[in-house]
Amino acid sequence: MEYKHFPGAALRLPEIGFGTWRYRGGVLPLRKAIELGAHLIDTAESYGTEEIVGEAIRGVRDRVFLATKALPRHFRRADLLKSADESLKRLGVGHIDLYQLHWPNYTVPIAETMATMEELVDRGKIRFIGVSNFSVSDLEKAQAALSRHKIVSNQVRYSLIDRTIEGSLLRYCEQQDIALVAYSPLASGLGHIKERDAHRTLERVSGLTGKSEGQVALNWCITKSQVIAIPKASSVDHVQDDCGAAGWRLSPEHVALLDRGIGFRRRGRVEARLRRVARHLLQRLGRNQ
């Protein structure tokens, strides 16, 4: 496994880690991932998988970079402290390596939330502060509210067919030395990528490189300097294949083939703004997740 360094946060992460949203694979695939060096394991209080992750890392905790997330409805100080304690209990660990705010919450003052995150670091309950699904403006406000620590990562959707982060968010994270943790890097199944691949470009590049189609799709993500990928793998064989996406690079020509040959969407500023407004309204109505 190859690793990426983020000097601004003294952070070293594997190019490939593993996510556990809707995970049903049990302990063995996660243990295989750790064995192969893909030791970033990501979960969340909303996933219902913290207990299985805790079981998988038992006895090898010192080899694992453990990440979990708090729901937006828990961003008030008392609620966030309680959420962290409950995650620690479910995971069966003494500290969380990366604690992430799962989505922005526009109804809770960001200063209160970030001060609580710093409090958790100072208490030794978490090592690093991360966020998920934050825009550039969300990141700027959150970082400005911190006084002693830095946001080290932003977990976002990114794949061959969803390239919304390219442009301002990717540039900002490069400038600020923030890791972009790509969830759904295989678009929730290679079949969704192939639906956008009328010319079978993924199959072609797979043949040219001698790598599997999944490895090509994952490697395309991690060619960006700030991006690491966290696919979900529910079998040991799948874990081994995904880990084979690390340690090599697609050539610029192969990347260009994929960029030209596979259709993708990229939300524009207007759509992104409308989505934030809708989330804000839902949160004000008490429907924030």
Amino acid at 73: R
CA–CA gap between residue 283 and residue 277 (Å, rounded): 10
Structural domains of the chain ordered from first start:
3-284 (3.20.20.100)
Contact 44, 21 (CB under 8 A): yes
Task: Kindly name the residue from 23, 47, 172, 183 that is annotated as catalytic.
Answer: 47
47 in catalytic set: yes
> Does the reported pTM lie above 0.85?
yes
The pLDDT assigned to 167 comes to 81
pLDDT tens per residue across all 289 residues of the chain: 899 988 767 888 999 999 999 999 999 999 999 999 999 999 999 999 999 999 999 999 999 999 999 999 999 999 999 999 999 999 999 999 999 999 999 999 999 999 999 999 999 999 999 999 999 999 999 999 999 999 999 999 999 999 999 989 999 999 999 999 999 999 989 999 999 999 999 999 999 999 999 999 999 999 999 999 999 999 999 999 999 999 999 999 999 999 999 988 766 665 566 555 555 555 555 665 5
Q: What is the CA radius of gyration of the chain?
A: 18
Ramachandran region of residue 10, left (φ > 0), alpha (ψ -120 to 50) or beta? Answer: left
How far apart CA 287 and CA 289 sit, in angstroms, is 6
Q: For 265, phi and psi rounded to 5 degrees?
A: -115, 150
Closest CA to 38 of 69, 63, 67: 63
Angle at 258 between CA 257 and CA 259, to 5 degrees: 95
Burial environment of residue 200 by CB neighbours within 10 A (0 to 12, 13 to 18, 19 or more): middle
Beta bridge partners of 67: 42, 98
